[in-house]
């Protein structure tokens, strides 16, 4: 009996040690977005979390946070850089404040369409830009989509740049956007996305600009009368990870995280495509006037002074992206 009892105790101790070892080997990381769960960003981080768990055999789990609960986009990028948050999924709007090289992607009318933008970001140019993050305490896992940005406002239907004169528009905290929009005669008002609905509702700003996915997800139709399909900037999104957390991963797990981000990016892009197909009709059904016949060439011509500056500032990288449009 004593022998059996000892054997049972030994087995129990071994099992406890195994469980303790497993528990200590498992790590939970946090990722946050400024949107709700049911959004193109929510799809991205939910898919990423599932893929990380599966691809690392449950060694890593990713806890997901929504509605800016871990901070607005600029705050979340800073938190990832500092290591107070492990991961974020963000548009590139605030990113040039941390990784200046990425600002080239925010040049207006840079990409012809989604296929072109995705091909550039998934190719050598995009890979090269991802590599720039490592010089700034951040590791970038993969590009995804926020979408082509369109303008909304409460004053008038916008079809030419002249219509924008004097409009107070919320913009992203992005110097390239602000510089370009001033050429349209806009009064730029940078603020975090989490503050925009209230600012529109209270009349602090006349309008804002965002992709259809964002306009619909944030219910801007409740506080805006007009949407103009300007498509003036393609806004990428990107998975970011604290550099220290990334370096602590084994080579096997680094591959798992990269692949998880790619699968999540594909899911995000599929949602963006779906939102684009139904977005216009949805907004019309809510009583919003949608201006689809926008004179884009006039908008491009109005930006001639800043294009010269952008060409000098971004040099070869801008030329490579422009060449890829042909």
Residue 246 in contact with residue 83, Cβ under 8 Å?
no
d(CA 103, CA 306): 14
pTM: predicted TM-score of the whole model, two decimal places:
0.89
Beta bridge partners of 64: 31
Measured CA to CA, the distance from residue 40 to residue 272 in angstroms comes to: 6
The first and second tokens of residue 296, run together, are 């884009």
CA–CA dist 54, 164 (Å, integer)? 49
Would you tell me how many other CB atoms lie within 10 Å of the CB of residue 250?
A: 10
Question: Which architecture does CATH list for 24-323?
Answer: 3-Layer(aba) Sandwich (3.40)
Q: Residue 325 has what pLDDT?
A: 75
Residue pair 147/236 in contact by the 8 Å Cβ criterion = no
H or E stretch including 170? Answer: strand 168-171
Name residue, tokens 């946070």: 65
Cβ(236)–Cβ(117) under 8 Å? yes
| Closest by Cα among 44, 34, 88 to 271 | 44
Measured from the Cβ of residue 324, the count of other Cβ atoms closer than 10 Å reads: 16
- Domain-by-domain residue ranges, the chain? 24-323
Distance CA 233, CA 112 (A): 10
CA 56/CA 2 separation, integer angstroms: 42
Give mean pLDDT in consecutive 10-residue pieces for the chain, a chain of 326 residues: 49 46 71 95 98 98 97 96 98 94 95 96 97 96 97 97 96 91 95 94 97 94 98 97 98 98 98 95 97 95 93 93 84
Distance CA(190)–CA(209), nearest Å, equals 11
Q: Using an 8 Å Cβ cutoff, are 253 and 241 in contact? A: no
For residue 173, what pLDDT is reported?
A: 85
Phi, psi of 234 (to 5 degrees): -85, 125
Pairwise CA distance, residues 21 & 108, whole Å: 52
298 with 267: CB under 8 angstroms? no
DSSP 238: E
Residue that the structure tokens 């700034």 belong to: 136
Distance CA 34, CA 72 (A): 6
Contact 324, 120 (CB under 8 A): yes
pLDDT for res 25: 59
| Residue 26 dihedral angles phi and psi, to the nearest 5° | -85, 135
């Amino acid at each position: 009996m004593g022998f059996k009892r000892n054997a049972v105790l030994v087995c129990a101790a071994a099992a406890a040690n195994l469980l303790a070892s497993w528990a200590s080997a498992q790590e939970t990381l946090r990722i946050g977005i400024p949107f709700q769960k049911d959004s193109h960003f929510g799809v991205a981080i939910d898919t990423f979390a599932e893929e990380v768990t599966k691809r690392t055999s449950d060694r890593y789990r990713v806890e997901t946070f929504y509605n800016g609960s871990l901070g607005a986009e600029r705050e979340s990028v800073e938190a990832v850089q500092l290591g107070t948050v492990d991961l974020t999924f963000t548009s590139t709007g605030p990113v040039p404040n941390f990784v200046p090289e990425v600002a080239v992607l925010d040049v207006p009318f840079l990409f012809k369409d989604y296929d072109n933008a995705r091909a550039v970001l998934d190719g050598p140019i995009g890979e090269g830009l991802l590599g720039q993050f490592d010089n700034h305490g951040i590791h970038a896992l993969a590009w995804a989509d926020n979408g082509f940005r369109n303008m909304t406002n409460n004053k008038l239907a916008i079809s030419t740049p002249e219509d924008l004169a004097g409009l107070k528009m919320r913009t992203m905290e992005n110097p390239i956007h602000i510089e370009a929009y001033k050429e349209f005669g806009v009064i730029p008002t940078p603020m975090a996305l989490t503050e925009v609905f209230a600012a529109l509702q209270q009349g602090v700003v006349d309008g804002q600009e965002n992709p259809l996915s964002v306009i619909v997800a944030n219910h801007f139709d409740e506080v805006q009368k007009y949407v103009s399909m300007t498509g003036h900037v393609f806004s990428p999104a990107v998975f970011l990870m604290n550099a220290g957390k990334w370096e602590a991963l084994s080579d096997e797990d680094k591959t798992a995280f990269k692949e998880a981000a790619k699968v999540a990016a594909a899911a995000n892009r599929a949602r963006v495509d779906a939102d684009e197909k139904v977005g216009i009709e949805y907004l019309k059904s809510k009583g919003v006037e949608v201006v689809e016949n926008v004179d884009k060439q006039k908008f491009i011509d109005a930006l001639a002074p800043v294009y010269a500056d952008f060409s000098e500032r971004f040099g070869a990288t801008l030329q490579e992206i422009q060449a890829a449009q042909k």
